[in-house]
Amino acid sequence: MSGRFDETEQIAHRHRRTMLWRVVLGACCVAGIAYWGLNYFVVTSNHPKPKRFPLDVVLQFTTDQLAKEWSAGRFAQGFDVRVGVTGTILRFASIRDGSTQHAGVVLATKGKSGPELLCVFNRNEEPWRTMRPGQTASLAGRLACDGTYRLCDAEAVIIEGASLCAIRSVDNYVKTRNASAAPSDNSWVQLEGRLADVRRSQSDSDAVILEFSASNGSSVRCQFMATAPRQCTPADRGREVAILGRHDPKREFDLIDCVRVDELATELQPTDVGHEPAFRLTVSELKDAYETGQAAERYGNRWVEVTGQVVALQQQKTGEEITSVIVLGSREGDSLRDNISCEFLEEEPWLKAKPGQTVKITGLMDGSLRSCEIVEATGEPYPIFTVERLLNSARDQQMDGTQLTSLMKFSLIEGVVDEIIPSPRKGIQPTVKLKSEDSVVSCYFLQDAPRQPTQNDIGKTILVFAEFAGSPRRIELGMALRVDSKPSP
């Protein structure tokens, strides 16, 4: 009996010992799994790791990790491996490589001294269609081989997280802008509204300036990102568009670095799309509305067609913006009256209508007639004076003690470029000598006038519209603009 009891006790002891080891092993497994899960949660929450990258992606980084590796010199020049990068979208970018244009995004680095990563997409891709600033983007691409901190041939793999971009109508944006709590610098807004005006920046020939009009008469001025694809054109005036931009910390514009995010893309030129005018007026009728203070109430933010005679050509400069202007009115006696200024987006609208002709012009009433287009030009222009005839007529009138008529004061003058004398003073236009027969006159062009004569034009005949100035002893032409046809390319 005792032997059988001892054997039973031993079996029970072994069973208890086995169960104990199983409990200990199970506890260790649970602790290990818990530790691994907690560690994974902490790591991924601080450094979100990209998922589902293409198979050809060899290395994966967050922007912080990539910045550290780059600063440490881990990537030698010529490093040609496809990598994956995950980071927060800071802003959009657009660069031009020779004749090729590329869009891209800039990913932020958490470290204050860490460099921002520019991710350049392939040609014709528009990343702002699918992503917004503030979201987390996982991108695949190749590090630049020229030693610059840039990801080339970028491809979006995952876009997740909430956008930091507010969507506002023009009226809502104006209310927010005028409120005491002004929008913070560099914050992003998607602006939606009807486009009132489009003009090209003079400081940057690749940048386009947009203007939206709110219902209370306020305007919102935005500047497109230089070289951005699908920029708005004059054909988009009056259309509903949506743009994405950030607040300008310099307060020169409301929004800068703008890109177009609506589905409507147009490549039309200004003359390809017309605007059906809501009103058709003569110059005198529009002038009367101005004088009685009813122009804004009747025609504000509406397209109108104005008929009148071209009496003068001008250029206006506001900051860095230069606007070509055709003045409509009537000439009676020695004065110009009933004048209306029509602002154009075209650089030389006077090539379509010469002074003296009767024109029909459509434009948007926004304080003045803006975004104008010439619909029709009829009639004969003013007589063209040769330099010799102009000088003889002017001397005869001035010698008689009579004032110049308006027809003489603003004239179309034809002459041969005889000499161009640079000014010794900076900012002063050179003197252009025009000649016909044995008569020579000094001509001074507007500072920003297009197609100003150069040394290559010496000996060529040109036609200018200029203001007669000077005295019988010294006769000059000022505020000149070329109105002869452009040479064929």
Q: What tokens does 486 get?
A: 């452009």
Mean pLDDT, residues 211-234: 78
Collect all residues with Cβ–Cβ distance below 8 Å to 23 and sequence separation of at least 6. Answer: none
Collect all residues with Cβ–Cβ distance below 8 Å to 412 and sequence separation of at least 6. Answer: 354, 355, 356, 381, 382, 383, 384, 385, 463, 464, 465, 483
| Half-sphere exposure of residue 442: CA atoms within 13 angstroms, side-chain side | 14
For the stretch 304-325, pLDDT in tens is 899 999 888 888 776 556 778 8
For the stretch 448-476, pLDDT in tens is 788 888 888 899 999 988 887 766 567 78
Beta-bridged to residue 26, according to DSSP, are none
How many whole angstroms separate alpha carbon 441 and alpha carbon 434?
5
Q: CATH classification of 59-160 is 2.40.50.140, yes or no?
A: yes
Question: Quick one: what percent of the chain has pLDDT higher than 90?
Answer: 4
Given the candidates 2.60.40.10, 3.40.50.300, 3.40.960.10, 2.40.50.140, the CATH classification of the domain at 279-378 is 2.40.50.140
- With a cut of 90, say whether residue 347 has pLDDT above it: no
How many whole angstroms separate alpha carbon 245 and alpha carbon 29?
53
How many whole angstroms separate alpha carbon 372 and alpha carbon 123?
34
Q: Measure the CA angle with vertex 199, ends 198 and 202; round to 5°.
A: 160
Nearest to 116 by CA among 98, 83, 92: 92
Mean pLDDT, residues 215-235: 77
Given the candidates 2.40.50.140, 3.40.980.10, 2.160.20.10, 1.10.357.10, the CATH classification of the domain at 166-260 is 2.40.50.140
Positive or negative, the CA dihedral 149, 155, 158, 162 is positive
Are 431 and 421 spatial neighbours (Cβ–Cβ below 8 Å)?
A: yes
For the stretch 111-133, pLDDT in tens is 555 678 888 887 667 787 778 88
Mean pLDDT, residues 80-103: 79
CATH class for domain 384-482? mainly beta
